[in-house]
Amino acid sequence: MHKRFKRNERTNERTKVPMYVLLNLATIAIHATQLSVPIPLYSLTKSAGTMMMQHIAMTVPSSEMQVITLEPGLHYTEAFARFTDENSFQWDDIKLPGDFAVWAASEGAEFLHGRFVWAKQR
């Protein structure tokens, strides 16, 4: 799979070296199993996807492709509206995971290669 992905290479404008970054969005539901009860297939596929990313990171060095899995936090979305109301949780800032992803795609985040990280306020 990563060989197909790598066909879409982009070049670092400063160094002219090809850059590959694979960011995987995970979910708290793979850790907090009580949250996965109403959405078992969702948490199952997210768990499998996260394990696949860890395998890719073990077999591909960060110098070739930076692989990071991130949990984007808790955000009130249309999907959550089916299960709960807006006042039921302290929701995270919706901008945080996007800002974090931009940084995670940078060379400064190379030390996170193969890691599962949380982009949360709390």
Q: What is the pLDDT along the chain (122 residues), one digit of tens a residue?
A: 556 655 556 665 555 566 789 999 998 888 887 878 888 888 889 999 999 999 999 998 888 889 999 999 888 888 888 888 889 888 888 899 999 999 998 888 999 999 999 987 76
Whole-model pTM over 0.85: no
Domains and CATH numbers, the chain: 2-118 (3.40.50.720)
Q: Is 87 helix (H, G, I), strand (E, B) or coil?
A: coil
Calculate the CA dihedral of residues 58, 68, 111, 9 and round it to 10 degrees.
90
